[in-house]
Amino acid sequence: MSYYADFAPGSGRRFPRAAFTSDAPRIDLNGVWRFHLSPTIAAAPEGMHDPGFDDSGWDELAVPSHWQLRGHGAPAYTNMLYPFPLDPPFPPDENPTGDYRREFEVPESWDGMGAVLRFEGVDSCFKAWLNGHELGFSTGSRLPTEFDVGEVLRPGRNVLAVRVHQWSAGSYLEDQDMWWLSGIFRDVQLIARPPGALDDFFVHAGYDHVTGRGTLRVDTTVPATLTVEELGLRDVPADREHVLDGVEPWSAEIPRLYDAVLATEGERVRLRIGFRTVTVEDGLLKVNGKRVLFRGVNRHEWHPRDGRALSEATMREDILLMKRHNINAVRTSHYPPHPRFLELCDELGLWVIDECDLETHGFHDVDWRGNPSADPRWREAYLDRIRRMVERDKNHPSVIMWSLGNESGAGDNLRAMAEWARSRDPGRPVHYEHDRDSRYVDVYSRMYPPVDEVEQIGRRAEKPLDDAEADAHRRGLPFILCEYAHAMGNGPGGLSEYQELFERHPRCQGGFVWEWIDHGIAHPELGYAYGGDFGEELHDGNFVTDGLLFPDRTPSPGLIEYKKVIEPVRITIGDTIVIENRYDFRDLSHLAFTWRLEEEGVTVAEGVLDVRDGRAPLPRLPATSGETWLTVRAVLAADEPWASAGHEVAWSQALVRPAVRRTTAPHRRSPEDLGTFDPVTGRLVSLGGLPVDGPRLDLWRAPTDNDIGMFESVEREWRAAGLHRVRHRLLGVSRDGGELVVRTRVAPAAHDRAMLATYRWSTEEDRLQLVLEVEPIGDWEDLPLPRLGLRMALPGWISRVEWFGRGPGEAYADSRRAARIGRFAMTVDEMQTPYVRPQENGNRADVRWATLTGEKGGLRIAGDPTFDLTVRRWTSEDLDAAKHLTDLVPGDKVYVNLDIAQNGLGTASCGPGVLPQYRLLARPASLTVAFSRVDA
């Protein structure tokens, strides 16, 4: 069998070992290589491995990179589907093959030393030749490969040739939901191995939370001495157990590391040691004796131009962003990350579930027939993958669990992986979600269950398994959600309901939002490309853009919401201010607590709270007359490695003085004195000279990805009901005292259900007041409405919005914790949330008043008491039709929605829909708003 169609994972490779750096010389082989892409293996050039081969006609390509993102071939996105026939272990004949060549110089000083050629990641299968000698081949794209090259290396010029295949047997094990991208996408190095060099070592650094003692032993492949200056260890034998008093433990909250040196005859290795002990006991996952709560995310490696070839700066940026948003845990979905990422997690503090490079999800579509997980011929490939991950990453304190992979069905190969991991490293529990009975894992893990099921699991009252023994085992395990709250498009909604369960039930140890970042590809015409934009014959559209960060790493509203929901400090403002510590290890001494009093959103007093034993007296507050809120914030008192002093960690608000409701003066003037109305339709056409497409009932929103849904689709129901194409029929225009009353019937074609909308126009001093009354007639059953409110249009020169209400970001019924009451101002353009696939966005909730202005003045809208506000330069229909942000072109109008409410968001793009309490059902409702002209 050809190597690229072989069940064997590789040949000629060294045994897997830890990633480390030492003072042994190394040569960085990253940089510009010669490159040639052939459409098939058969078409690939012969003799390219020959040192004398003429590659002068070839292109150049950066290593590391993916060739599809550097002008060769094209990216392709599928979620579960394999983009080739299920014909394991064979790749298709159309197998793009990239040949790489480069020369490098080896100094004379390397004479007498061995050498190792190390590839950190090559997608998906490669063979390598040095100076014409074949070294071997390897699969396992996101895992390291090393070859011994001491015998073939020579002083002076050397020629390295690498042939990479896009598809291989290994591709069957790499069906992760992401772009298919190929090439040498991680670093390549040549590492000298002086005589007496260290091949591998395994740090065992435990912490006994009862005695406060650390234990330290480093297993080494050759005799080594260990020095940890700070702990008074100098050149002690590494492989003895050293018991150390008064050690400070490592945790994600306080990532205490000790610098150490491991010395052998041949080299000195610098390492950083973190002391911690991970256990599963009493049905809980504990670190250093304490139950931990994961406020996690699933992180794919992603950069909109570089794909999975990340720079260190990007890795660091990810961690800083996580820390700044109260995230404390990462699942490395669904493959081991670049090794540098884990060093940064050790240093900055994150709990890591390190996941193996394994997924066979596409076999689901054939009822798991032929699934490699259950086929012994693949056993060695499975074991090879777990070995390479565990050996590479075993010395990181941040890694507290091994995950076998994702969505690979069940089977004995997975069990074998689990057994191997447990025997090699008894210090870390094993995770795998798709083993439904959790027979070979140490943690019960699920993805996307609804809250009521999580609640049952929290009480250990879940539905029993048929097998009593398996049930007893699973029921005794701690529980995590390895994926929940699908952050695709606008959402996720309903985060706080899960968080509440995590805090109530010790067994529920938190979860990992799916996922960290949108995998949009920067595209010259489309902004960000998603599945289908490269002409793929099979693809899964924008399902690849489902992150808490937009592709350029700007936080989406979902991330801001998550930060608020998981805040590690809970502030409650009552007669006193109560501060509750929700960290697992840290006290609150690193925080300062500030307060601010705002009247109608304007600061009238502020100060610092004196918090003692978790309490602070209410500050003395000056008298105010308008609506007044007290905001208390917990901020970093001093710089931390991940944020500066003053960075906000948590906050809370309390209403100190409610708004005084206006007493409505009798209507002295008629509505026509302030506005012009169309005599036939009764619609407002201008207000004080400002042209207006008068407000009328609106039910539609551009469906979000969560509305469209994966299993349940409220969007389908909406379109079937015709809510995107309602018509308005005038029933009559009349006068009722000083009021102008317009009655309409609003309904879609082909059905007898309707909304009766009554618009009552009156005046109140210089304001034109509108009371909208809505009454559903006919059978609406429990069909939720997209939105219920008014839509109007203003001239396109309106460009700026100021409001008093929730902000600064958007908020929806089930995603509004992060929006605080205040006074905010931004441009219309800034109010748009740039979801990669355009959809409903930008709603500002609980608005008391807003001004919409431009160079010629504008409009003030006051609620009685509040309304929800959306302002945009296109209609909901334009938004609905757009496929990419670049399809949205401003016209000569600005469209304004004033809503009573919108339906919640939910997370049905993958998971449960909107919870009952956030559904907007058709019921009689009303909205009162008053309009007045703002002069230029």
Catalytic residues: 407, 483
544 vs 869 by CB, closer to ligand IPT = 544
Closest Cα to residue 172, out of 40, 332, 4? 4
Which of 318, 483, 739, 868 contacts ligand IPT by CB under 6 A?
A: 483
- How far apart are the C-alpha atoms of 152 and 26, rounded to whole Å? 16
Nearer Cβ to ligand IPT, position 447 or 770? Answer: 447
DSSP string, 97-126: EEEEEEEEEE-GGGTT-EEEEEES-EESEE
Q: How far is the CB of 563 from ligand IPT (least distance, A)?
A: 21
Contacts to ligand IPT from residues 79-108, by CB under 6 A: 79
Is 33:65 a contact under the CB 8 Å cutoff? no
Q: Which residue lies nearer to ligand IPT by CB, 15 or 711?
A: 711
The contact pattern for ligand IPT, residues 322-341, with x = CB under 6 A and - = no contact, is: ------------x-------
Residues 137, 382, 440, 514: which binds ligand IPT (CB under 6 A)?
A: 514
Instruction: Out of 202, 250, 448, 918, point to the residue binding ligand IPT (CB under 6 A).
Output: 448
Question: Which two structure tokens, joined as six digits, stand for 135?
Answer: 């070294």
- By beta-carbon proximity to ligand IPT, the closer residue of 407 and 435 is 407
> Residue 472: in which H helix or E strand, if any?
helix 468-475
SS3 track for 847-911: EEEEEEEECCEEEEEEEEEEEEEEEECCCHHHHHHCCCHHHCCCCCEEEEEEEEEECCCCCHHHC
Query: 3-class DSSP state for residue 629?
Result: strand
CB of 175 to ligand IPT, least distance (A): 10
| 448 vs 642, beta carbon nearer ligand IPT | 448
Q: Which of 116, 192, 260, 447 binds ligand IPT (CB under 6 A)?
A: 447
Sign of CA dihedral 31, 36, 39, 40: negative
SS3 498: helix
- Binding-site string for ligand IPT from residue 533 to residue 572, where x marks contact by CB under 6 A and - marks none: -------------x--------------------------
- Beta carbon of residue 910, minimum distance to ligand IPT (angstroms, whole number): 4
Would you say 747 or 910 has its CB closer to ligand IPT? 910
Q: Are strands 290-291 and 284-287 parallel, antiparallel or unpaired?
A: antiparallel
For position 910 contacting ligand IPT by CB under 6 A, the verdict is yes
Minimum distance from residue 434 beta carbon to ligand IPT (Å) = 9
Rg of the Cα trace of the chain? 31
Q: Please provide the DSSP assignment of 375-424 as one string.
A: -GGGHHHHHHHHHHHHHHHTT-TTEEEEE--SS----HHHHHHHHHHHHH
Nearest CA to 852 out of 801, 794, 793, 791 is that of 801
Q: Is 518 in the site for ligand IPT (CB under 6 A)?
A: no
The Cα-based distances of 392 to 309, 337, 396, 401, 643 in angstroms read 19, 11, 9, 14, 30
Footprint on residues 761-800 left by ligand IPT (CB under 6 A): none
The helix/strand count (H/E) of the chain reads as: 12, 57
SS3 per-residue string spanning 312-365: HHHHHHHHHHHHHCCCCEEECCCCCCCHHHHHHHHHHCCEEEEECCCECHHHHH
Give the pair of three-digit tokens for residue 409: 């069905």
Choose between 483 and 698: whose C-beta lies nearer to ligand IPT: 483
Query: Could you identify the residue written with the tokens 């060739």?
Result: 67
Q: Which C-beta is closer to ligand IPT: that of 365 or that of 673? A: 365
Residue 300: CB minimum distance to ligand IPT, A: 8
Q: Please give the DSSP secondary-structure letter assigned to residue 626.
A: S
Helix residue ranges per DSSP H, 722-773: none
Distances in Å between the Cα of 241 and the Cα atoms of 217, 219, 390, 440 are 5, 10, 22, 30
Cα dihedral sign for 615, 608, 293, 457? positive
**Which C-beta is closer to ligand IPT: that of 543 or that of 803?**
543
- Give CA–CA dist 6/16, Å, rounded: 20
The nearer residue to ligand IPT, 4 or 432, going by C-beta atoms, is 432
**DSSP designation for 454:** H
Q: Which one, 492 or 858, has the nearer CB to ligand IPT?
A: 492
Q: Which residue is nearest to ligand IPT (CB)?
A: 177
Q: How far is the CB of 749 from ligand IPT (least distance, A)?
A: 36
Q: How far apart are CA 759 and CA 874, in angstroms?
A: 24
- CB of 486: closest distance to ligand IPT in angstroms? 6
Task: Kindly identify the residues of this chain, within the stretch 212-271, that bind ligand IPT according to CB under 6 A.
Answer: none
CA distance 180 to 462: 38
Task: Find the binding residues for ligand IPT in span 348-407 (CB under 6 A).
Answer: 406-407
Q: Which two tokens stand for residue 762?
A: 């009156």
77 part of the interface to ligand IPT, by CB under 6 A:
no
Nearer to ligand IPT, 335 or 629 (CB): 335
Query: Of 928, 920, 595, whose CA–CA distance to 784 is shortest?
Result: 920
Q: How far is the CB of 308 from ligand IPT (least distance, A)?
A: 14
Per-residue contact flags (x/-) with ligand IPT for residues 403 to 442, judged by CB under 6 A:
---xx-----------------------------------
Strands 479-484 and 508-513: parallel
- Within 147-206, the residues that bind ligand IPT by CB under 6 A are 177
Number of residues in contact with ligand IPT under rule CB under 6 A: 12
DSSP result, 129-191: EETTEEEEEEE-TTS-EEEE-TTT--SEEEEEEEEEES--GGGGGB--SEEE--EE-S-EEEE
Crossing angle between the packed helical segments 412-424 and 379-393, to the nearest 10 degrees: 30
Dihedral sign computed on CA atoms, order 390, 393, 397, 399:
negative
CA distance 476 to 465: 13
d(CA 317, CA 553): 9
Closest to 791 in 3D by CA, of 685, 678, 888, 896:
896
Pick between residue 299 and residue 767 the one whose CB is nearest to ligand IPT.
299
Distance of closest approach, residue 542 Cβ to ligand IPT, in angstroms: 11
Where along the sequence are the contacts to ligand IPT (CB under 6 A)?
79, 177, 334, 406-407, 447-448, 483, 486, 514, 546, 910
